Amino acid sequence: MSTKILMPALSPTMTEGNLSKWLVKEGDKVSSGDVIAEIETDKATMEIESADEGTVTKILIKEGTESVPVNSPIAVLDGEDQDQSSDRKDDIKNTDDYIKTEEKINNKEETSKEKILYQPSKNNIKTVKEDKLSNNQIKASPIVKKIAKEDGINLDNIKGSGPNGRIIMKDLNFKDKFNQKINDNYYSPSSIRKVIAKRTTETKQNVPHFYISIESNTDKLIEMRKKINENLNEKISINDILVKALAQAQALNPATNVSWSNGKIIKYESIDVSIAVALKEGLITPIIKNADKKGLVEISLEIKQLVKKANKGSLLPEEYNGGTISISNLGMFGITEFSAIINPPQSSILAVGAIRKIPSVENEAVVIRNKLKSTLSADHRVLDGAVAAKLLKDFNDIIEDPFDLWLMSNDMKII
């Protein structure tokens, strides 16, 4: 009896993935638990294992194929020629056949569409049916179509002056008006970039963001970090301290440890801080779980390990799925202030910039202080202004006077 191997869902947000590499070939025997392929998900490249044992009789999806839907068949174990399936993709012997079949279907549908541009009316007046056509369908001379294909010109933007609205060579003078360049390069985005594009668009459209900012004096924080690093082998970064401070602030404000889901409010028991990590392919947010209960050294080591795994693409789903609040730090790039898009389903994200030396008036005297600007993006469906402001104010108070933060870090030595 044949068994289908399906594209697995390796994370809650995964709807499709790229089949990067097959580690078996047709005719190979596999056992349950054998690694058979590498899948590029929306977050990382992961290995998948066979759930059954048998002989790989047919590989349905070639390695390198992108956007393979979750739960669609990718291979068959112990298949026979007479095996049939109601699923159209299962009926196709390989990816090439699938593509050809899709082309036939598309061509058949295309021929059934109305393509009449001019149709006589009862008054013998010609009217135009305004359909959007691709460069291949639009009325243009062969040389125009050739130039349009080579130069990447969208003919939809050009009004033809030839017979029946046909686009001719002289009409291409308009291409400069539309800033179309001959040597533009186009490439397919990675799975991560596709997910980022989809989720950020949906979030900005559907989540009512509001933003509040605060400026903090970090003189004491910098001094504390200096003393800690003088007494420890493992060096603590400013970002490590900010992660701990944000977790402590959320612990003081449990009303912010919530999210909106399908018309209901979810209240979380743990405080898990997601950290924005920039990768070549896009952004990923590994999580420091129970960050309010961990010490600075523990947080620092965990962040280093997660960032290393993120850069290698080897994060496990449980290491980046979830989180109750996010922090994004662009200070290392010299950015002084910015606002970030909320990471769903979370209800807030803190954006922190670079620490700068700024003149400040204190007791009628001008002094130089190290200042840090932070901006909290909040979901107004679950967080009101005062609630979000209290969270940001507590974060500010903690980093301006970080003694309690150090005191609550059980892995810190006396300094």
What are the extents of the domains in the chain? 3-106, 118-176, 191-407
Q: Which of 42, 77, 43 is nearest to 60 (CA)?
A: 77
Q: Is 380 a catalytic residue?
A: yes
pLDDT at 106: 41
pLDDT above 90: residue 103: no
Average pLDDT, the chain: 81
- Fold of the CATH domain 191-407: Chloramphenicol Acetyltransferase (3.30.559)
Higher-confidence residue of 164 and 62: namely: 62
pLDDT above 70: residue 174: no
CB contact at 8 A, 77 and 3: yes
pLDDT at 370: 97
Q: What's the pLDDT band for 113 if we cut at 50, 70, 90?
A: very low
Least confident window among 50-54, 181-185, 337-341, 402-406: 181-185
Mean pLDDT confidence for 159-166: 81
Q: Kindly report, residue by residue over 367-389, the tens digit of the pLDDT.
A: 999 999 999 999 999 999 999 99
Q: Kindly report, residue by residue over 208-257, the tens digit of the pLDDT.
A: 999 999 999 999 999 999 998 988 888 999 999 999 999 999 999 999 99
pLDDT at 96: 45
Q: Catalytic residue, from 89, 304, 380, 381: name it.
A: 380
Mean pLDDT confidence for 247-274: 96
CB contact at 8 A, 22 and 59: yes
CB contact at 8 A, 154 and 180: yes
pLDDT at 206: 93
DSSP 97-149: HHHHHHHHHHHHHHHHS---SEEE-TTS-EEE------TTTS-B-HHHHHHHH
Mean pLDDT confidence for 34-56: 82
pTM above 0.75, yes or no: no
pLDDT at 40: 81
- Fold of the CATH domain 3-106: OB fold (Dihydrolipoamide Acetyltransferase, E2P) (2.40.50)
CB contact at 8 A, 212 and 365: no
CB contact at 8 A, 11 and 27: no
Q: How many CB atoms lie within 10 A of CB 93?
A: 11
Residue owning tokens 């997910």: 195
pLDDT at 187: 73
Q: Kindly report, residue by residue over 315-362, the tens digit of the pLDDT.
A: 898 999 889 999 999 999 999 999 999 999 999 999 999 999 999 999
pLDDT at 323: 94
pLDDT at 90: 40
pLDDT at 286: 95
pLDDT above 70: residue 413: no
Higher-confidence residue of 201 and 46: namely: 201
Query: What is residue 165's three-state secondary structure?
Result: helix
Q: Which of 202, 341, 353, 339 is nearest to 285 (CA)?
A: 341
pLDDT above 50: residue 129: no
pLDDT above 60: residue 89: no
Using a pLDDT cut of 90, give the percent of the chain over it. Answer: 46
Mean pLDDT confidence for 135-147: 74
Higher-confidence residue of 65 and 10: namely: 65
pLDDT above 90: residue 296: yes
Using a pLDDT cut of 70, give the percent of the chain over it. Answer: 80
Q: Which CATH superfamily is domain 118-176 in?
A: E3-binding domain (4.10.320.10)
pLDDT above 60: residue 313: yes
